[in-house]
Structure 1
Amino acid sequence: MTVWAGSTVTMLVLAGILPDFQLQSAHGDSATRIAITAALGAGAFGVLSAVVWPLLVRLLLLVPALVLGLLVFFLNGSLLLVALRINPSGQSEVAPETAVMVAAVMSAVASATGGALAVRDDDAYRRRLYRLADRRRGAHPPCPSAPGTVVVQLDGVGHDVITDAVRKGLMPTVGRWLAAGDGRRPTHRLTPWRTDWSSQTGASQLGILHGSTFDVPAFRWYEKEHREVMVCNRPTSAAELQRRAVERTGDGGLLTVDGASRGNLFSGGADEQALVLSIAARRRGRENRSRAGYFAYFSDPANAVRTALSFCAEVGREIAQSTRARARKQRPRVGRGGLYPFVRAFATVVERDVVVAAVMGDLLAGRTAVYADLVAYDEVAHHSGPRSRDTEKVLQRLDRSLALIEKVAEHAPRPYRIVVLSDHGQSPGETFRARYGLTLGQLVRAGCGLPVPRKAERTHSGTEARAAVRAALRRPVEERGEHHRPSRRRSEPIVLASGNLGLISFPDVPHRMTKEEIDARHPALLPTLANHPGIGFLLVRSEEHGGVVLGAYGAEIPLDRLDEQPGPLTVFGPGAADAVRRTHAFPHTADIMVNSWYEPAEGEVLAFEEQIGSHGGLGGAQARPFLLSPLELPAPAGDGEELAGAEHVHRVLRRWLSESNGPQVPLAEAEQDRRAA
């Protein structure tokens, strides 16, 4: 009744302000009649929003999800026109364009009123949040008393970044958990961990969720036997990587026991999946719920309007920030035009809101394990820098999302332990192209004696947000040379970039080439690369030593001597030699692996992509993510022990889940149980 009254007052106020919105006849009506007309119109609009809107959204799931977001205003305005048309008083009149505005304001007011009232009543608050995620409590068995675990991945947030954010007061929720400076006892511990050489979401999240990072040398790489480029954020590649990991480990994943996967590249073996890239390539059916999260969220018209308004505001914010950066001639800087403002808004608003709402529903449904990825920071940091004012604003909003999840957990039917982690960090620095005027691909062509175009071409910039947008639009991720058929002549090398890691492959040679073979074919290539000031080191296979690291001034260090003679790896710190040796053993390691220059004092690298905050190789903060865990859980690493690699993080999380809910179900047994059911 209070929400209805608030909507009625809102409609009366808007009718008095907007000239194209009338609630009375041309001859005039009494105040009582106008009030009745407004009440009837508001009531009809509320009923249509509650009953018709979810049906419309379910039908519109047949269209791309991003288009659904753009249709929000039109659909909401149409419902208001219908509500006024069926109004028994017959006195209301509104122009279609004004109806859109009136409907948006009324939905926002109704949402705010209902939310404010529901917070005062635990049961009402619980029911309201439950509706947001479209869960049916009766479909699940009673919740066990053992605590559940929700893991939130803050994509790309390094250990140093979150530490500084807490110190500056940008993340008060995390600061309260760590009891930073407020005299209270902490509830969580912050632990850094070290990634593999491939410091990117594809490798890290595959290792965390499925326990294997084997044969993931980079974000994108060329597989000679299949003659195609694998890209971690392409749905078909993600599905294949997940299949390989399951086959290697013999286990379905971290979330096989009553788990939910939200906004991730991989499923983790969860039964409940939404916005998961590895299942986006399947034919749509009951088992494919990769876009179920969109319906769960947009079925509430107030959510749809609020997210659409925030989306538009974020687009405007990005345009203003990029314009200010250009006016100040800020350096380093990359292009932020074209569709990027919309990609950023999708990552920082739409994807965040939908994933957080899905997690809220999982908590209130009492699920055992939930893993969700929020990609907002990673997307903005690529273009604005890891420590820019733009990213600080994103960190503040992510902290509010954590606070909301914590609040919902208090109303869940079982206790929950909130774990927050990142999959990698980001290292700052200008692009290789900006500093030297040519791309890595052009430098390779010069070393091979091939013609070099005068104009440097831009390199693909692959991020999780762009993959999510493409999945929402049902557009595949395309890579140049992804299906390469070598001709009779020697084909040109394929050069791929993954942040500050470059991969060079010769597609006409079926095996991984050795240094001796490369020197015989292109004598100047390896010296040209190794002696370039923008390159830190190379990894190549060797007939004599098995594998060698090459550096400037003729440095050539066999892999088995790196511990006592690190050579060009010295500046990259502890763990670099182990990471390089491990990657060398992968079946699909490129003919030449190239890691960019690294400046330890400033922590800067040179990205081979168009990014001023990058990750993917060795050097700086990109290889130092964090794990934030409750103190009630055992320490993730013993005294003096380093948490090294995503597979190690997987074992830690699995141990925590097993201690709370018993051993996780092996893949074969899970399949048998599913078939029997």
Structure 2
Amino acid sequence: MGRARDSIRRFGRSARERWREVVGPWAAGTVTMLVLAAVLPDFRLQSADGESATRVAIAAALGAGVFGLLGAVVWPVLVRALLLVPAFVLGLLVFFLNGSLLLIALALIPVGSGAAEPETAVVVAAAMSAASSAAGTFLAMRDDAAYGRRLARLAGRGRRRSGERAGPRPAPGTVFLQLDGVGHDVLRDALRERRGSGGRRKGPLMPTLAGWAATSHRLTPWRTDWSSQTGASQLAILHGSNEDVPAFRWYEKETGEVLVSGRPAGAAELQRRAVARTGDGGLLAADGASRGNLFSGGADQVALVLSVAARRGRHNRSRSGYFAYFSDPANATRTAVSYVAEVLREIGQSLRARIRRESPRLPRGGLYPFVRAFATVVERDVVVAAVLGDVLSGRTSVYADLVGYDEVAHHSGPRGRDTHQVLRDLDRAVALIARVVRHAPRPYRIVLLSDHGQSPGETFAGRYGLTLEELVLRARAAGASGAGRPPVVLASGNLGLVSFPDLPGRASREEIDRRHPGLLRVLADHPGIGFLLVRSEEHGPVVLGPDGAEHRLETGDVVGESPLRALGPGAAEAVRRTAGFPHTADIMVNSAYDPATGAVHAFEEQIGSHGGLGGEQGRPFLLWPQELSAPVPDGAELVGAERVHRVLRRWLREATEPQIPVDRIPLDRRADESLPVGDMPAPFAVTGPALRDKTE
């Protein structure tokens, strides 16, 4: 009986939701049509002789209903055709076709004498689509279930059209969702039960992911390279190598140019170098899709991918969701409503921070509210829609980057009310993808990961009253030999880079001391700087700290106390690796780190930062289905983005090749990515014991 009652309640709730999805937009369309018929001279719902108000209302209701029905039936066909249309033509075609549907609807209604001029029909159709979509959005209270069901219905029709037959389902596909900038500890806290005032239980901040971590997935941290930022991490994750990527931006002496990972030309060049170095197309080269990333990963299907943003032609167009998203006026309206709400939310949150005099705090006026809304709403919606299209079309692998948290945390700090809202929205986006996956033509494994975390702290300039560049120039000018071209000083979060254009190659410590006496000592002794990396002619790469401390990386010899001691046992190896890059700056500067608070001082205007060593910025996460093999053996640490790439490669192989049960792999060989999956005996599948969430 209990199950029967539950089924009846679920059926009733589902019926009410579906009824609301229909009636709300229909009513909004009807009212919009009546209003526009009253104010637009070229649009009418009655004959010239006039008709009763009742007949006009009935005509409006029927017209709105037929228009909505045509949209539901015809739009899926139009969307597929529009995928072949260039982007600059797409917007005009959308409104033209929408207006055409309205004219057809007016011609079909049996009541009244509806008519409109073609240009007026375009306006009326756009207004009705906007009103209907907005009504549906507000009535659903931001519930994505209706959106998911619509996509699922489209997927079902698509599979029937493609002639899908009963039989074994294809091998599982894999969806990699990157929650940009979400550190392991931030995610772990978001999965825990919370308590409100009076001890009232509030539930986890991210209930979907919390449910996965408690049942189907495992959570583990990994450690970034010294350059803890998206350019270095994602390049290695997608293309297998981040060799010679010392920071987010750096100066290359041979060209006299600054290479920036976050610009189309820079991303394209980094991807080209990585492919040339590895000789491999990338993680997504086999039937993959790349969405919202800096790099393509070798995918043929891309949307909002920076490394191909400057390209023209079919290789820069997504046929599985990007154009389809913008071709639907309902999607555009849905996103526009959320965009305005996000702008207003940021203005309110910024005002509250000023009133409460929160510290640290950054100015958040100007264009920032609109930049934030683009990252947290527009880019999220387009990327999620593209991923949904990918899974509904049965693509083998998808990698998507959701960047909203990273953007907000830079300006609001990694923890707090502002970022909590973004984490909730990300959880809802993941839940939507998971719901639609159930209707896909193949099973999917969803892997969540981040590329880095974020460390809090007041900016270097805010704490000490001058920028890193100003400090370098003052110290240089104070030396006896301060002449010559000024140095190039760049920042990547709490990592600074100082290059001397007039010194060829990698300038040595000895040469810098001769040209700019006292500069290195001023920098190393500054309280806001944790350590410097330079190249010594005598000792090779050397880390310099306050009070004459040195750590000679080639020999491991330490003078005084190692400047790397507070940063953990992996810091020396991370710095040593970067010291061997051809484009490492003459002086690499890492800001001070407070182990008690986890705070660093960004050399950029960020109160949540990443890019160097220190705190949670270097500790991202992997949340992976427990049927996959462990990333590393128990007790080991997953270190470096290149190794994460090898783990993801292994997981893609596991989806298509038979393997032995996890509990039958010898302990010394478990999670070893060098173990060829194809060598495992058939017909076993991964059937290891139920594994619970493993957090630290």
Normalising by structure 2, what TM-score?
Answer: 0.80
Q: Which stretch has the larger CA shift, 41-50 or 338-347?
A: 41-50
- Whole-Å separation in 2 of the counterparts to 1:113 and 1:47: 22
The letter for the 2-side match of 1:322 is S
| Offset, 1:293 | 4.6
Corresponding residue SS for 2:182: coil
Q: Which of 574, 583, 588 is matched with 2:583 structurally?
A: 588
- Whole-Å separation in 1 of the counterparts to 2:95 and 2:46: 24
The letter for the 2-side match of 1:524 is G
Corresponding residue SS for 1:504: strand
How does 1:65-76 map onto structure 2 within 5 Å?
none
Corresponding residue SS for 1:446: helix
The letter for the 1-side match of 2:27 is V
Where structure 2 has 5 or more consecutive residues not aligned to the other structure, the ranges are 1-17, 195-203, 659-672, 674-696
- Whole-Å separation in 2 of the counterparts to 1:143 and 1:508: 66
Q: Is the 8 A contact 1:603 1:620 kept in 2?
A: yes
- Paired residue total: 613
Q: Is the 8 A contact 1:143 1:414 kept in 2?
A: no
The letter for the 2-side match of 1:147 is P
Aligned to 2:152: 126
How does 1:261-340 map onto structure 2 within 5 Å?
261-282=290-311, 284-289=312-317, 293-340=321-368
Aligned to 1:155: 180
The letter for the 2-side match of 1:176 is G
Aligned to 1:255: 284
| Offset, 1:655 | 1.1
Q: Is the 8 A contact 1:37 1:87 kept in 2?
A: no
| Offset, 1:547 | 1.4
Aligned to 1:616: 611
- Whole-Å separation in 2 of the counterparts to 1:15 and 1:504: 64
- Whole-Å separation in 2 of the counterparts to 1:110 and 1:553: 65
Q: Which of 227, 230, 238 is matched with 2:259 structurally?
A: 230
Q: Is the 8 A contact 1:279 1:290 kept in 2?
A: no
Aligned to 2:421: 393
Q: Structure 1, residues 49-77: CA drift from partner, whole Å, max 9, x if none?
A: 955985889767228x9xx7xx9999899
Q: Which of 55, 66, 77 is matched with 1:43 structurally?
A: 66
- Whole-Å separation in 2 of the counterparts to 1:374 and 1:121: 19
- Whole-Å separation in 2 of the counterparts to 1:647 and 1:315: 37
Q: Is the 8 A contact 2:410 2:609 kept in 1?
A: yes
Whether 2:507 is the aligned partner of 1:513: answer yes
The letter for the 1-side match of 2:211 is R
The letter for the 2-side match of 1:515 is R
The letter for the 2-side match of 1:309 is V
Q: Is the 8 A contact 1:5 1:39 kept in 2?
A: no
- Whole-Å separation in 1 of the counterparts to 2:146 and 2:497: 57
Q: Is the 8 A contact 1:129 1:360 kept in 2?
A: no
Q: Which stretch has the larger CA shift, 364-373 or 555-564?
A: 555-564
Corresponding residue SS for 2:563: helix
The letter for the 2-side match of 1:384 is S
| Offset, 1:493 | 0.5
How does 1:544-623 map onto structure 2 within 5 Å?
544-562=538-556, 567-623=562-618
Aligned to 1:241: 270
**1:569/1:121 Cα in 2 relative to 1: closer, same or farther (>3 Å)?**
closer
| Offset, 1:361 | 1.3
The letter for the 2-side match of 1:61 is A
| Offset, 1:199 | 0.2
Q: Structure 1, residues 418-469: CA drift from partner, whole Å, max 9, x if none?
A: 1100000000001111111111010010011089xxxxxxxxxxxxxxxxxx
Corresponding residue SS for 1:419: strand
Q: Structure 1, residues 182-235: CA drift from partner, whole Å, max 9, x if none?
A: xxxx21110100000000001101111111111000000011112111111111
Q: Is the 8 A contact 1:172 1:399 kept in 2?
A: yes
% identical equivalent positions: 61
**1:596/1:178 Cα in 2 relative to 1: closer, same or farther (>3 Å)?**
same
Q: Structure 1, residues 274-314: CA drift from partner, whole Å, max 9, x if none?
A: 211111122x1122226975312112221111001111111
- Whole-Å separation in 1 of the counterparts to 2:492 and 2:160: 42
Aligned to 2:11: none
Aligned to 1:502: 496
Q: Is the 8 A contact 2:25 2:131 kept in 1?
A: no
Root-mean-square deviation (Å): 3.8
- Whole-Å separation in 1 of the counterparts to 2:140 and 2:326: 17
Q: Is the 8 A contact 1:14 1:102 kept in 2?
A: yes
Aligned to 2:385: 357
The letter for the 2-side match of 1:242 is Q
Aligned to 2:516: 522
- Whole-Å separation in 1 of the counterparts to 2:30 and 2:368: 40
**1:536/1:271 Cα in 2 relative to 1: closer, same or farther (>3 Å)?**
same
- Whole-Å separation in 1 of the counterparts to 2:583 and 2:46: 73
Q: Is the 8 A contact 1:20 1:95 kept in 2?
A: no
| Offset, 1:490 | 2.5
| Offset, 1:378 | 0.3
**1:137/1:540 Cα in 2 relative to 1: closer, same or farther (>3 Å)?**
farther
Q: Is the 8 A contact 1:12 1:35 kept in 2?
A: no
Q: Is the 8 A contact 1:153 1:421 kept in 2?
A: yes
**1:43/1:585 Cα in 2 relative to 1: closer, same or farther (>3 Å)?**
same
| Offset, 1:522 | 0.7
Q: Structure 1, residues 364-385: CA drift from partner, whole Å, max 9, x if none?
A: 1111111111001000000011
- Whole-Å separation in 2 of the counterparts to 1:115 and 1:341: 23
- Whole-Å separation in 1 of the counterparts to 2:242 and 2:175: 22
Q: Structure 1, residues 13-36: CA drift from partner, whole Å, max 9, x if none?
A: 456789748855795515134312
Aligned to 2:623: 628
| Offset, 1:108 | 3.9
Aligned to 2:171: 146
| Offset, 1:126 | 2.4
- Whole-Å separation in 2 of the counterparts to 1:323 and 1:121: 33
| Offset, 1:10 | 3.0
- Whole-Å separation in 2 of the counterparts to 1:236 and 1:629: 33
How does 1:182-197 map onto structure 2 within 5 Å?
186-197=215-226
Corresponding residue SS for 1:449: helix
Q: Which stretch has the larger CA shift, 136-145 or 536-545?
A: 136-145
| Offset, 1:106 | 1.7
- Whole-Å separation in 2 of the counterparts to 1:38 and 1:212: 60
Aligned to 1:445: 473
- Whole-Å separation in 2 of the counterparts to 1:365 and 1:437: 55
- Whole-Å separation in 2 of the counterparts to 1:441 and 1:447: 10
Q: Structure 1, residues 387-416: CA drift from partner, whole Å, max 9, x if none?
A: 020000000010111111111111111111
The letter for the 2-side match of 1:612 is I
Aligned to 1:164: 189
How does 1:655-666 map onto structure 2 within 5 Å?
655-662=650-657
Q: Which of 127, 132, 135 is matched with 1:106 structurally?
A: 132
Which protein is bigger by CA-based radius of gyration?
2
**1:92/1:426 Cα in 2 relative to 1: closer, same or farther (>3 Å)?**
same
Normalising by structure 1, what TM-score?
Answer: 0.82
Q: Which of 235, 248, 265 is matched with 1:206 structurally?
A: 235
Corresponding residue SS for 2:418: helix
Where structure 1 has 5 or more consecutive residues not aligned to the other structure, the ranges are 180-185, 452-488, 665-677
Q: Structure 1, residues 107-135: CA drift from partner, whole Å, max 9, x if none?
A: 3457899999x97999975233579xx99
| Offset, 1:147 | 1.4
Whether 2:671 is the aligned partner of 1:648: answer no
Q: Is the 8 A contact 2:179 2:449 kept in 1?
A: yes
The letter for the 2-side match of 1:583 is T
The letter for the 1-side match of 2:335 is T
Q: Is the 8 A contact 1:256 1:271 kept in 2?
A: yes
**1:650/1:308 Cα in 2 relative to 1: closer, same or farther (>3 Å)?**
same
Q: Is the 8 A contact 2:33 2:64 kept in 1?
A: no
Aligned to 1:477: none
The letter for the 2-side match of 1:36 is A
